[in-house]
Amino acid sequence: MGGPFGGLDEALAWLSGHVDYERTAPTRRVRPTLEPELAALRALGDPQLDVPCVHVTGTNGKGSTTAMAASLLEATGRRVGTYTSPDLHAVNERIGVAGAPIDDDALCAVLGRLRDLENALDARLTRFELLTVGGLLHFADEAVDVAVVEVGLGGTFDATNVVASTVAVCTNVSLDHTEVLGDTVEAIAQDKAGIVKPGATAVLGDADAATLELQAEIATRNGATQVWLRGRELTLGRNDLAVGGRLCAISTPLGAHDDVFVSLHGAHQGANALCAIAAVEAFGGVALGDDALGTLGAVTVPGRLEVLGSSPTLVVDTAHNPAGTRVLADALTEAFGVDGRVRCVVGALSSRDPVALLAPLAALVDVAYCCEPSSPRALPATAVADAATQMGIDARVQPDPARALDEALEDADEDDLVVVTGSFYVVGDARGHVLGLGSHRG
């Protein structure tokens, strides 16, 4: 079957008919090569080679760093494409140009071309490979000047590692997705450093010196012409709480910036801003001016310490691993003074250890409303509740994230804090419920 799809629903149904490792827990044995995707790109004329890229990996902070880098690049007059994952509400969110997600008609057209390509090649890609190829094809069609591409998982064998990146960023490294990437920080760091291409600049933002040195060695071995390390070429001095975000002092080999305002909550966003500024300066070869840096004061990243309500305060955050919940706990303590109780709507995927996930929040959370992500890999809400109870948290079970949020809000007093976390799926469902957004994840 060829030709255009009859509409978005038909296109998404076709897309969903492909293997989806975001929902079915991949292993390295399942995903050992990029060759099928590269063959598809060759058949399309290698669109990935038409667009220079800033490639972003890291255990946490990829989405925020991508958003900030895109904002800075736009401010320098460039037409910018962004490729991110996962989405909160609609698959369109993953592919953006000039700050706007791909519209339904364009997405249908891209997926139609990919269906025809699969038929011609008599080969099938995974869902994530198709979206990656589709994003790169869209960027080439739209003649973007640069694309900021967020890694889906790891680096070396991630579907995004086909791009022609001139700058490779690693925000940080901690234990996550160990079933795919390895069970040591060193193995994960090595996998992530695999995105560094010959001739590229590597921007390495981890706070751990040993991890930084390992990545620097791999980047050099891969042919990087410049390797910028946090604490050496890159410094984050001031990183203070400010009204509505952070006030930072950041320096790179190309410039020193004393008063950078970042409109995102949490000390970790200062580190992400350091990576974003360094990446954009490395890409352009010049220091950013105050006008460009000023755009960081208007950056928003849905689902990342995002405030959705007051009286009680409602915050959603996509922290989904222990490193993420540690950052969340620090940010809540620093930026959200709470006179009342902290109520946490939380759900997780089955690959997570709920005790490790909740441990950083245990001293803060009074009541946990335990739910289940809308995923085949959902961890039962009862397992999350058992973990919460072990840590002395009052636990309630309500599998549906939207209903769990309703219960938390109904129970809350005006001076309470309600936080939703644990999974992109949980945050997406809760955020969509609050904002009245439909879901077109496909």
Is residue 90 predicted with pLDDT exceeding 90?
Answer: yes
What's the rounded mean pLDDT across residues 347-361? Answer: 95
- Specify whether 354 is located in the same domain as 431: yes
- Specify whether 19 is located in the same domain as 98: yes
Q: Name which of 1-10, 159-168, 212-221, 382-391 the model is least confident about.
A: 1-10
- Percentage of residues in the chain having pLDDT higher than 70: 94
| CATH code (residue 369) | 3.90.190.20
pLDDT digits (tens, 9 = 90+) for 241-268: 999 999 999 999 999 999 999 999 999 9
- Specify whether 46 is located in the same domain as 78: yes
- Specify whether 172 is located in the same domain as 36: yes
C-alpha distances (whole Å) from 247 to each of 274, 287, 388 are 12, 19, 35
Is residue 313 predicted with pLDDT exceeding 60?
Answer: yes
> Considering the chain, what is the average pLDDT of its residues?
92
Is residue 302 predicted with pLDDT exceeding 80?
Answer: yes
- Specify whether 266 is located in the same domain as 192: yes
Does residue 310 lie in a domain region?
Answer: yes
pLDDT at residue 211, as a whole number: 85
Does residue 53 lie in a domain region?
Answer: yes
Does residue 3 lie in a domain region?
Answer: no
Does residue 441 lie in a domain region?
Answer: no
- Specify whether 141 is located in the same domain as 265: yes
Domain-terminating residue out of 298, 318, 348: 298
- Specify whether 375 is located in the same domain as 253: no
pLDDT at residue 348, as a whole number: 97
What's the rounded mean pLDDT across residues 11-35? Answer: 78
- Specify whether 275 is located in the same domain as 395: no
| CATH code (residue 139) | 3.40.1190.10
Token pair for residue 396?
């309630």
Is residue 50 predicted with pLDDT exceeding 80?
Answer: yes
pLDDT at residue 177, as a whole number: 46
pLDDT band at 209 (very low <50, low <70, confident <90, very high): confident
In 173-203, which positions are buried (b, 16+ CB within 10 angstroms) versus exposed (e)? Answer: bbbbbeebbbeebeebbbbbbbbbbeebbbb
Does residue 1 lie in a domain region?
Answer: no
- Domain housing 375: 306-435
- Specify whether 61 is located in the same domain as 157: yes
Does residue 442 lie in a domain region?
Answer: no
pLDDT band at 229 (very low <50, low <70, confident <90, very high): very high
What's the rounded mean pLDDT across residues 297-317? Answer: 96
- Specify whether 356 is located in the same domain as 294: no
* Domain count along the chain: 2
Q: Name which of 104-113, 176-185, 220-229, 394-403 the model is least confident about.
A: 176-185
CA distance 91 to 86: 8
pLDDT at residue 26, as a whole number: 55
pLDDT at residue 30, as a whole number: 55
pLDDT band at 33 (very low <50, low <70, confident <90, very high): confident
Does residue 440 lie in a domain region?
Answer: no
Domain-terminating residue out of 298, 320, 343: 298
pLDDT at residue 22, as a whole number: 78
- Specify whether 204 is located in the same domain as 72: yes
Long-range contacts of 249-252 (CB under 8 A, 24+ apart): 250/274, 250/277, 252/228, 252/277, 252/278, 252/281, 252/282, 252/287
Domain-terminating residue out of 298, 317, 337: 298
Q: At which residue do the structure tokens 């946990």 appear?
A: 368
pLDDT at residue 154, as a whole number: 81
- Specify whether 29 is located in the same domain as 45: yes
Q: Is the peptide bond before 312 cis (omega within 30 degrees of 0)?
A: yes
What's the rounded mean pLDDT across residues 409-421? Answer: 97
Q: Name which of 163-167, 251-255, 334-338 the model is least confident about.
A: 334-338
- pTM, entire model: 0.93
pLDDT at residue 440, as a whole number: 56
pLDDT band at 168 (very low <50, low <70, confident <90, very high): very high
Is residue 188 predicted with pLDDT exceeding 70?
Answer: yes
Token pair for residue 297?
């004061």
